[in-house]
Amino acid sequence: MPETGIDQINEETKPGKTDALSSHLLGGKKHHDEEKNVENDEVQHLQKGTDYLTTFLLQQGIHQQKTVSTTKPKGVDDLKKDFVENLVKNGFVNIGDDGRTVLTDKGQEYLTKQTRNAEMRVTLAKLRNLRYRNSIAKTRKKRSSGKKTRKGTKKSAKRKKRQ
């Protein structure tokens, strides 16, 4: 009889040296492992853990908040339909005979107003950017003009007092 687990494994892997009982047990374990659903076992283990934590927190006085979402978020197609319905409802577009949207006068006015607003915002952003770039250029000029002095021409304060 082997003394360690490694010797036992080595003895069992050699053909002809295993007896019927050990081969039957190993076959049963192999069959059990193949049939075992690990996912269900893990889910049950996690549920036991959550039950334990829930009871622990309830004992500490922390109550469970119920947040149940019954609706799924809308998909892209649904959002597109809602967008078109809002445009039709506000009177910006009409649906033509062929099923396509047609821009109304009110929609054209709104579109031009939005375009003008966007153009003004872009112009304002360009001006701000230009002002920022000019201020950076000025600070660079100031810094670079200070470096143009010759070495040795500056006299320390101690030398000035002595003279």
Is there a domain that residue 149 lies in? no
At position 145, the amino acid (one-letter code) is: S
User: Which tops the pLDDT comparison, 104 or 152?
Assistant: 104
Q: Is the pLDDT of residue 143 over 80?
A: yes
Number of domains the chain is built from: 2
* pLDDT at 155 > cutoff 80: no
Which helix H or strand E contains 103, and what residues bound it? strand 101-103
Question: Would the pLDDT of 144 be above 90?
Answer: no
Structure-token pair, residue 47:
């549920």
Residues 90 and 128 in one domain: yes
* Token pair in block for residue 12: 């069992």
Could you tell me if residue 89 is inside a domain? yes
Task: Give me the mean pLDDT over the 18-41 stretch.
Answer: 67
Residue 159 lies in a domain: no
For the record, the structure tokens of 59 come out as 């004992």
pTM over 0.75: no
Question: What is the pLDDT, as a whole number, of residue 130?
Answer: 95
Q: Which residue has the higher pLDDT, 146 or 84?
A: 84
Q: What percent of the chain clears pLDDT 90, i.e. is strictly above it?
A: 33
Q: In terms of domains, do 91 and 136 share one?
A: yes
Q: Is the pLDDT of residue 98 over 60?
A: yes
More confident residue, 17 or 130: 130
Please choose, from the candidates 97, 98, 103, the residue with its C-alpha nearest in 3D space to the C-alpha of residue 84: 103
Percentage of the chain surpassing pLDDT 70?
66
Nearest CA to 94 out of 108, 114, 80 is that of 108
Residues 6+ apart with CB under 8 A from 2: 8, 10, 11
- Angle at the Cα of 97 from the Cα atoms of 95 and 98, rounded to 5 degrees: 95
Q: Is 133 in the same domain as 84?
A: yes
∠ CA 93-95-98, rounded to 5°: 140
Q: How confident is the model at residue 37 (pLDDT cuts 50, 70, 90)?
A: low
Q: Which of 95, 76, 72 is nearest to 85 (CA)?
A: 95
Same-domain status, 81 and 121: yes
CA atoms within 13 A on the CB side of 10: 7
Q: Which of 91, 112, 110, 113 lies closest to 102 in space, CA to CA?
A: 91
- Quote the pLDDT of residue 101: 87
Mean per-residue pLDDT of the chain? 78
**Over residues 41-63, mean pLDDT:** 84
Residue 94, φ and ψ in degrees, nearest 5: -125, 155
Domain of residue 25 covers 5-59
- Note the pLDDT of residue 148: 55
119 pLDDT above the threshold of 90: yes
